[in-house]
């Protein structure tokens, strides 16, 4: 039975040993000072105990050296811990450039995960070994928390705002995913698995059954929701091709960097940041799209290269020809 119980999680990402380094250093500092202080209390209590009722202790003069001695070394130790912690923290919140991206929607009580290239998953995430993975997360309802203890990563998932989390897995296998923020009745069942695969296998897995990719779903929404009526080549509204991760000018003279947050804001609140050279005529889609649909639209928009905007009038499938019983000559 005890073999099932793990005292400490696996170290399965590049971040894990670094976080553990700080954790164990703090533990060692604390342990050292607990032993030192408790030991000195006991030693002094015995060594300087009152030996008779008449005994009066000698006057103690203050000593600058002693005062500096107990002020400066702890200050230096705290500074070391501060800079060390800050360095790991900054690395933990800044994803590198060459990441595999995944979009995550949390809702009571499950995780929806979408790879822009194709696959969609629930409560399970496949990732390549030794490649950095970046998650963009949002919640459909309450605050959740995406936590992978073996990777030492953890991020609040908040309604109405995208947050990010990144990691580089360093071990193959399956690792537990938890929701680490109490989110209602079935919070304890909001769990899943991270499956770390060999990169070549991962590439194959990614393209299997990818016809219902989020970008394809987003394209459907783009047509269904009539986005195409204005966002087209004729230009009543900005063309959305090749805008991803670019700076674009706004009507008020500012510029905006096109990312998930900007696109989401513009869909829900088009008045917020109007693109230079256009009138604001777009209705708000607030309350009409789920977070998953919003992400699919965003994934579609970020995928748009030159000439990729769908035709305004889509070629519809011709109605299926019904076999005509009367026209015998039509069949061989
Ligand atoms: Cu979601 Cu707890």
**What pLDDT was estimated at residue 213?**
77
Give the Cα separation of 314 and 60 in Å (integer): 93
15 close to 151: Cβ distance less than 8 angstroms? yes
Q: Does ligand 1 come within 6 angstroms of the Cβ of 137?
A: no
Q: Give the Å distance between the CA of 78 and the centre of ligand 1.
A: 35
Q: Does ligand 1 come within 6 angstroms of the Cβ of 144?
A: yes
Q: Does ligand 1 come within 6 angstroms of the Cβ of 190?
A: yes
Q: Give the Å distance between the CA of 121 and the centre of ligand 1.
A: 17
Measured from the Cβ of residue 77, the count of other Cβ atoms closer than 10 Å reads 12
pTM of the model: 0.75
Q: Give the Å distance between the CA of 33 and the centre of ligand 1.
A: 38
Q: Give the Å distance between the CA of 282 and the centre of ligand 1.
A: 35
For atom 1 of ligand 1, the residue with the nearest CA is: 144
Q: Does ligand 1 come within 6 angstroms of the Cβ of 187?
A: yes
Q: Does ligand 1 come within 6 angstroms of the Cβ of 183?
A: yes
DSSP 123-156: SEEEEETTS-EEEEEEESSS-EEEEEGGGTEEEE
| Two tokens, residue 154 | 């953890």
Q: Give the Å distance between the CA of 187 and the centre of ligand 1.
A: 4
Per-residue pLDDT of the chain (332 residues; tens, 9 = 90+): 566 777 888 899 999 999 999 999 999 999 999 999 999 999 999 998 888 888 888 888 888 999 999 899 989 999 999 999 999 999 999 999 889 999 999 999 999 998 887 788 889 899 999 999 999 999 999 999 999 999 999 999 999 899 999 999 999 999 999 999 999 999 999 999 999 999 998 888 887 766 677 888 888 888 888 888 888 877 778 888 888 888 988 888 888 998 888 988 888 888 888 888 888 888 888 888 888 888 888 888 888 888 778 776 655 555 555 444 444 444 43
Q: Does ligand 1 come within 6 angstroms of the Cβ of 181?
A: yes
Q: Does ligand 1 come within 6 angstroms of the Cβ of 179?
A: yes
Residues with Cβ within 8 Å of 103's Cβ and at least 6 positions away in sequence, in order, are: 113, 114, 116, 135, 136, 137, 214, 295, 298, 299
Which ligand 1 atom is the nearest neighbour of the CA of 182? 2
């Amino acid at each position: 039975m005890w073999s099932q119980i793990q005292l400490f999680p696996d170290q399965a990402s590049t971040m894990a040993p670094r976080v553990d380094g700080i954790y164990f250093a703090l533990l060692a500092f604390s342990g050292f000072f607990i032993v030192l202080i408790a030991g000195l209390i006991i030693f002094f209590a015995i060594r300087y105990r009152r030996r008779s009722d008449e005994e009066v202790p000698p006057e103690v003069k203050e000593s600058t050296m002693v005062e500096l001695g107990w002020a400066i070394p702890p200050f230096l130790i705290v500074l070391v811990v501060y800079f060390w912690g800050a360095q790991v923290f900054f690395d933990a919140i800044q994803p590198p450039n060459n990441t595999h991206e995944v979009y995550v929607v949390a809702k009571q009580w499950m995780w929806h995960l979408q790879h822009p290239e194709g696959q969609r998953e629930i409560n399970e995430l496949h990732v390549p070994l030794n490649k950095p993975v970046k998650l963009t997360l949002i919640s459909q309802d309450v605050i959740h928390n995406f936590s992978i203890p073996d990777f030492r990563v953890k991020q609040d998932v908040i309604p109405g705002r995208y947050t990010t989390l990144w990691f580089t897995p360093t071990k193959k296998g399956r690792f537990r995913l938890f929701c680490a923020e109490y989110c209602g009745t079935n919070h304890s069942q909001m769990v899943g698995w991270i499956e770390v695969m060999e990169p070549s296998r991962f590439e194959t897995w990614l393209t299997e059954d990818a016809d219902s990719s989020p970008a394809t779903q987003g394209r459907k929404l783009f047509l269904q929701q009539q986005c195409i009526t204005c966002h087209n080549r004729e230009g009543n509204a900005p063309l959305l091709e090749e805008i991803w991760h670019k700076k674009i000018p706004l009507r008020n003279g500012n510029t905006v960097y096109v990312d998930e947050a900007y696109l989401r804001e513009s869909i829900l609140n088009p008045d917020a940041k109007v693109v230079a050279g256009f009138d604001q005529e777009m209705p708000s889609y607030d309350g009409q799209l789920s977070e998953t649909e919003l992400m699919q639209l965003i994934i579609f928009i970020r995928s748009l290269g030159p000439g990729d905007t769908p035709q305004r009038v889509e070629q519809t499938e011709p109605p299926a020809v019904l076999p005509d019983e009367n026209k015998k000559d039509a069949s061989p």
